[in-house]
Amino acid sequence: MKKIALYIEDCYNELMHKVTWPTWKALQNSALIVMVASLLIAVVIYLMDLSFSSIMKLIYSFA
Spatial separation of the C-alpha atoms in residues 8 and 14, rounded to whole Å: 10
8 Å CB contact between 28 and 20: no
Q: Would you say how long the chain is, in residues?
A: 63
Q: What span, in angstroms and rounded, lies between the C-alpha atoms of 43 and 37?
A: 10
pLDDT digit string, tens, across residues 16-43: 999 999 999 999 999 999 999 999 999 9
- Residue 60: pLDDT above 80? yes
Give the start-to-end residue ranges of the domains of the chain: 21-63
pTM, two decimal places: 0.67
The confidence score (pLDDT) of residue 12 equals 95
